[in-house]
A and B are shown apart, each in its own frame.
Chain A
Amino acid sequence: MTPYAIRTTQLTRDFAAVRAVDNISLEVAPGTVFGFLGPNGAGKTTTIRLLLGLLEPTSGQAEVLGFNVRTHADEIRARCGALLEHNGIYERLSAYQNLDFYAKVWHLPTAERQARIKELLTSLDLWERRDEPAGKWSRGMKQKLAVARALLHRPALVFLDEPTAGLDPIASAALRDDLANLAQREGVTIFLTTHNLAEAEKLCAQVGVIRQGKLIATGSPEQLRRATGKPRLEISGSGFSEQALGAIRALPTVSAIHNGNGSLIIEFHQPASSAPIVSLLVNSGAQIEEVRKGKADLEQAFLALLEQE
């Protein structure tokens, strides 16, 4: 087994004058869920296409499951599953026919094929509707079906390109849960692109942030938060006087204060004790209902990273 499921070194892809992927070097450990975060057009889909050997790199190197994308793309595709930018579902065929076709593509023996299709469709709550034309299904159900298709042949690595894009919050949450369960149960490496940071935070052990083709940060969500997000204190209540706020603002550990709608948010340069601030507010006559010490979430860390760039 190779130490890395994915390893790229200065991977670059140009389309005429546009550099879609710019010197990306990253490593993804086997058995982990790696989130590739970035705004639309950042180069996430192109990176997946390069890693699957669908596009040739302009320069740089990439190895997937120990195989070079330039010379062994067939070997890579034989061991990977993919849900790409579009779900790739044959809408004229039923859900079962869709999976049956791909199971034959992957050369699954008949008995295993039938059992695996039933297992996946059942685990995703689609089995009862397996004979319906997939074209009549909701977007969320089609995405689930596409996830099932990507996992059908028990691949070592699965690429999921924005799997919850376009889904309503309930469908997104359901699919996220399904993905988390499947990833845990199947033990596959997942390379997931998304611009949904809550999704990345929930699913990913490691994330990479890409912008304009460049990888600007990698690490665990916690590491990114620590590196870029500021510690903060959220205080709910009323009667926050200007005098008290001025005194808090003057503290050397405080970097910013946001007051409004009965909520006071205090950002610190570094982790600091909340007790003096709470005392100061209480002594000034403020009514405090709740005090919450918070960390910047991944979204704030992500935005901070993009701002830094």
Chain B
Amino acid sequence: MFTDILTILQKELTELLFQRGQGRSTSIRLLIFVGVFGILLPLQNGIEGVQSPINLAFWAWIPYLLVSGVTADTFAGERERHTLETLLASRLSDRAILFGKLAAVVAYGWGITLAAIVLSLVTVNIAYWQGTLTLYPADLFAVILALSLLIAVFAAGLGIAISLRAATARAAQQTMSIIMFVMLIPLFALSFLPREILARLDVFLDGLNPPQIIAALLVFLLVFDGGLLAYALRHFQRAKLVSD
């Protein structure tokens, strides 16, 4: 099954990254995305940006943005384009198809996030060189990696669950966008808060024992991701997909 998962993953990534006829616009879109998050924002935030725990929220949302944008196309889109039934008529198991697609969208979102993280470090070190290499604190970096991966899986799982019920890829994408908007409201609200309140919030967060909160968040996401995947496994089945 692992070979089959790799085959599906490879096909999906080819479609996502090197879409024939649309390849150039896809590449430009990705370059802009990586440029903004890997160069522009790090230039604005400087060394402090690398050291701040706010990084967590920052890098956590990027995979969601990326994965939610492609999951609907990969799942609901394949059904809409009438290519799914042919795939289901092949020797591939339901699970191989599901996990191959899941792995592709997660690899896409998480991979680009990692590329942007590396680029942001390069940018900060070039622009604000202080005689020694500036890196993320090791614990913070580990949490960024874990959190961004879990968020990517969360976005993929949510996208699959929505795609399985949505009539079209567009409808699935709209639902994903609405969910993202609802989840982003608290973050948007943060930017409108006065500096004093933000400073107090910082102190408040410091007093909350961040490692425990982060650990709880990671465990919560892990469980939630597991639930979403269990739902996907239960519903991504030939008989249901063909008769729906």
Give A56 to B21 CA distance when docked, in angstroms.
39
What residues on B are CB-neighbors of A49 within 8 Å?
242
> For chain A residues 87-138, which have a beta carbon within 8 Å of chain B?
87-94, 97, 101-102, 104-107, 133, 135-136
Choice from B7, B11, B81, B88 contacting A54 with Cβ under 8 Å: B88
Contact A105 B15 (CB under 8 A): no
**For A269, what are the chain B residues with a Cβ–Cβ distance below 8 Å?**
none
Distance (whole angstroms) from the CB of A21 to the closest CB of chain B: 13
Q: Whole-angstrom distance between the alpha carbons of A136 and B15 in the complex?
A: 15
B7 touching A55, Cβ below 8 Å: no
A77: interface (CB < 8 Å):
yes
A55–B91 Cα distance when bound, in Å, is 15
* A84 adjacent to chain B (CB < 8 Å): yes
Is B212 on the interface with A (CB-CB < 8 A)?
Answer: no
Q: Chain B residues near A80: list those with CB within 8 A.
A: 89
Contact B90 A133, beta carbon cutoff 8 Å: no
User: Does B89 contact A55, Cβ atoms closer than 8 Å?
Assistant: no
Complex CA–CA separation, A88 to B164 (angstroms): 19
Chain A binding surface, main DSSP class: mixed
What's the least CB distance linking A216 to chain B, in Å?
Answer: 25
Decide yes or no whether A177 CB sits under 8 A from chain B. no
CB distance from B119 to the nearest CB of A (A): 27
A127 CB, min distance to chain B CBs, angstroms: 18
Counting CB contacts under 8 A, is A82 at the interface?
yes
Knowing A102-B90, A105-B92, the reply to whether A90 touches B7 (Cβ < 8 A) is: no
A208 to chain B, nearest CB (A): 21
Bound form: Cα–Cα A94–B93 in Å: 25
- Pick the residue among B22, B90, B242 that contacts A77 (CB under 8 A): B90
Q: Report which of B15, B85, B238, B239 forms a contact with A88, defined as CB distance below 8 A.
A: B85
Q: Which residue of B lies closest to A133 (CB)?
A: B20
Q: Which of A52, A74, A78, A87 has the most CB of B within 10 A?
A: A52
- Tell me which residues across on chain A come within 8 A of B25, comparing CB atoms: none
A198-228, CB under 8 A of B: which get 1 and which 0?
Answer: 0000000000000000000000000000000
Chain B's closest residue to A134 (CB) is B20
Contact at A106–B19, with CB atoms within 8 Å? no
Q: If A15-B243, A93-B14, A93-B15 touch, does A78 touch B91 (CB 8 Å cutoff)?
A: yes
Chain B interface bracket (under 10, 10 to 19, 20 to 34, 35 or more):
20 to 34
Tell me the smallest distance from the CB of B108 to a CB of chain A, in Å.
15
Shortest C-beta distance, A86 to chain B (Å), equals 3
Beyond A92-B19, A97-B14, A105-B4, whether A77 also contacts B83 by CB under 8 A is no
B96 CB to closest chain A CB (Å) equals 9
A133 to B81, CA, bound (A): 15
- Most chain B CB neighbours (cut-off 10 Å) among A82, A87, A88: A88
Q: Which of B10, B21, B85 contacts A133 (CB 8 A)?
A: B21
Whether A91 and B91, one on each chain, are in contact in the complex, defined by CB atoms closer than 8 angstroms, is no
Q: Chain B residue with minimal CB distance to A73?
A: B238
Contacts of B209 on A, CB cut-off 8 Å?
A: none
Q: Which residues of A contact B234 (CB under 8 A)?
A: none
Give the residue of A105, A135, A136 whose beta carbon is less than 8 angstroms from that of B7: A105
B4 and A84 contacting across the interface, CB-CB below 8 Å: no
- With contact pairs A77-B91, A94-B20 given, residues A101 and B7 touching in the complex (Cβ less than 8 Å): yes
In the assembled complex, B118 has its CB within 8 A of some CB on chain A: no
Is B219 positioned at the interface, with any CB of A under 8 Å from its CB?
no
Q: Which residues of chain A come closer than 8 Å to B85, judged between CB atoms?
A: 54, 84-86, 88
Residue of B nearest to A153 (CB): B91
CA separation between A53 and B15, bound complex, in Å? 28
Bound-complex Cα distance A260 to B82 (A): 48
Contacts of B239 in A (CB 8 A): 54-56
| Known A94-B20, A133-B20; contact A107-B90, beta-carbon cutoff 8 A | no
B 197-244 contacts with A by CB, 8 A: 238-239, 242-243
Task: For residue B90, give the distance in angstroms from its CB to the closest CB of chain A.
Answer: 5
Residues 20-72 of B at the A interface (beta carbon under 8 Å)? 20-22
B83 touching A89, Cβ below 8 Å:
yes
Binding site for B on A (CB under 8 A): 15, 49, 52-56, 73-74, 77-78, 80, 82-94, 97, 101-102, 104-107, 133, 135-136, 146, 149, 159
Question: What 9 A-B pairs are tightest by C-beta distance, nearest first?
Answer: A88-B86, A86-B82, A133-B20, A78-B91, A82-B89, A104-B7, A92-B19, A54-B242, A101-B11
Ordered by A's residue number, 29 sampled pairs between the chains whose C-beta atoms are within 8 Å are A15-B243, A49-B242, A52-B89, A54-B85, A54-B89, A54-B242, A55-B242, A55-B243, A56-B239, A77-B91, A83-B86, A85-B82, A86-B82, A86-B86, A87-B86, A88-B86, A89-B83, A90-B83, A92-B19, A92-B21, A102-B90, A104-B7, A104-B10, A105-B4, A105-B7, A105-B90, A105-B92, A133-B21, A135-B20
Chain B residues in the interface with A (C-beta under 8 A): 3-4, 7, 10-11, 14-15, 19-22, 81-83, 85-93, 238-239, 242-243
